[in-house]
Amino acid sequence: MTDITVDRLPETKIGESYLDEGHSLASWLTTTDHKRIGILYALSITAFFFIGGAAIGLVRLELLEPHGLFLTDEEYNRLFTLHGIIMVWFFLVPSIPTTFGNFLLPMMIGAKDVAFPRLNLMSWYLFVIGATFTIITIIAGGVDTGWTFYTPLSTLYANGNVIAAAAGVFVVGFSSIATGINFIATTHMLRAPGMTWTRLPLFVWAIYATSVVMILATPVLAMSLLLVSVERWFGVPIFNPNNGGDPLLFQHLFWFYSHPAVYIMILPAMGVISEVFACFARRKVFGYTAMVYSLMSIAVIGFMVWGHHMFVAGQSPYANLVFSFLSFVVAVPSAIKVFNWVATLYGGQIVFKAPMLYAMGFLGLFTVGGLTGLFLASVPIDIHVTDTYFVVAHFHFIMVGGSVSAFFAALHFWWPKITGRLYPDYWARFGAITMFLGFNATFLPQFVMGYEGMPRRYHVYPEQFQVYHVISTAGTVLLAVAYILPLLYLGWSLLYGNRADRNPWHAAGLEWETLSPPPKENFERTPTVTSGPYSYGEDAEPQAHTA
Partner 1 sequence: MNPFRFVSDVSHEAIVVDRLFFLLVGISVLIAGLVTALVVIFGVRYRKDSPAPRRALPQMLKNEVEIGWISATAFLFFFIFWWAAAGELSALTAPKNALDIHIVAKQWMWHAQQPNGIREINEIHAPINTPVRLVMTSQDVIHSMFLPALRIKQDVLPGRYTYLWFNAQKAGTYHLLCAEFCGTEHSRMTGRIVLMTQPEYSRWTETEAPTHGLAAQGETLFRSLGCSGCHGPNASVHAPDLDHLYGHRVQLSDGRVVTADEAYLRDSILQPRRDIVAGYKPLMPSFRGIVSEDDIVRLIAYLKSLSTKNVLNQQGERQ
Tell me the C-alpha distance between 508 and 281, whole Å. Answer: 12
Q: Smallest gap, in angstroms, from Cβ of residue 207 to partner 1?
A: 24
Q: Which amino acid is at 235?
A: G
Concatenating the DSSP letter of every residue in 190-255 gives: -PPTT--GGGS-HHHHHHHHHHHHHHHHHHHHHHHHHHHHHHHHH---SS-GGGT--HHHHHHHHH
Using rule CB under 8 A, residue 347 touches partner 1: yes
Using rule CB under 8 A, residue 158 touches partner 1: yes
Contact between residue 382 and residue 311 where contact means Cβ atoms under 8 Å apart: yes
DSSP code, position 459: S
Using rule CB under 8 A, residue 345 touches partner 1: yes
Q: Smallest gap, in angstroms, from Cβ of residue 462 to partner 1?
A: 7
In sequence order, which residues have a C-beta less than 8 Å from that of residue 135 and are 6 or more positions away?
none
Using rule CB under 8 A, residue 2 touches partner 1: no
Q: Smallest gap, in angstroms, from Cβ of residue 295 to partner 1?
A: 14
Tell me the C-alpha distance between 526 and 242, whole Å. Answer: 63
Using rule CB under 8 A, residue 517 touches partner 1: no
Q: CB-wise, 14 or 343, nearer to partner 1?
A: 343
Site map 269..298 versus partner 1, x via CB under 8 A? ------------x----xx--x--------
Q: Smallest gap, in angstroms, from Cβ of residue 364 to partner 1?
A: 7
Using rule CB under 8 A, residue 144 touches partner 1: yes
Site map 471..510 versus partner 1, x via CB under 8 A? ----------------------------------------
Question: Binding residue for partner 1 (CB under 8 A) from 29, 139, 189, 321?
Answer: 321
Q: CB-wise, 128 or 153, nearer to partner 1?
A: 153
Question: Binding residue for partner 1 (CB under 8 A) from 338, 422, 433, 485?
Answer: 338
Using rule CB under 8 A, residue 547 touches partner 1: no
Contact between residue 93 and residue 126 where contact means Cβ atoms under 8 Å apart: no
Using rule CB under 8 A, residue 248 touches partner 1: yes
Tell me the C-alpha distance between 496 and 486, whole Å. Answer: 15
Using rule CB under 8 A, residue 313 touches partner 1: yes
Contact between residue 288 and residue 202 where contact means Cβ atoms under 8 Å apart: yes
Using rule CB under 8 A, residue 320 touches partner 1: yes
Using rule CB under 8 A, residue 349 touches partner 1: yes
Three-point CA angle 489, 22, 38, nearest 5°? 55
Q: Smallest gap, in angstroms, from Cβ of residue 526 to partner 1?
A: 32
Using rule CB under 8 A, residue 161 touches partner 1: no
Using rule CB under 8 A, residue 70 touches partner 1: no
Using rule CB under 8 A, residue 61 touches partner 1: no
Q: Smallest gap, in angstroms, from Cβ of residue 328 to partner 1?
A: 4
Q: Which stretch binds partner 1 (CB under 8 A): 149-157, 206-214, 402-410, 506-514?
A: 149-157
Question: Binding residue for partner 1 (CB under 8 A) from 141, 219, 455, 532?
Answer: 455
Q: CB-wise, 160 or 420, nearer to partner 1?
A: 160
Tell me the C-alpha distance between 195 and 69, whole Å. Answer: 58
Using rule CB under 8 A, residue 230 touches partner 1: no
Write the CA distances from 150 to 227, 253, 526, integer angstroms.
12, 11, 50
Find the helix packing angle between 247-281 and 354-377, rounded to 10°.
140
Using rule CB under 8 A, residue 317 touches partner 1: yes
Question: Binding residue for partner 1 (CB under 8 A) from 79, 105, 360, 432?
Answer: 360
Q: Which stretch binds partner 1 (CB under 8 A): 183-191, 201-209, 319-327, 488-496?
A: 319-327
Q: Smallest gap, in angstroms, from Cβ of residue 155 to partner 1?
A: 10
| Cis before 152 (ω within 30) | yes
Interactions with partner 1, residue window 522-541 (CB under 8 A) = 538-540
Backbone φ and ψ for 56, nearest 5 degrees, come out as -75, -25
Number of residues assigned to the chain:
547
Q: Residue 455, SS3?
A: strand
Write the CA distances from 391 to 309, 310, 373, 506, integer angstroms.
10, 13, 9, 41
Using rule CB under 8 A, residue 515 touches partner 1: no
Which one, of 515, 502, 513, 514, lies nearest residue 547 by Cα?
A: 502
Using rule CB under 8 A, residue 343 touches partner 1: yes
Which one, of 509, 59, 482, 84, lies nearest residue 265 by Cα?
A: 84
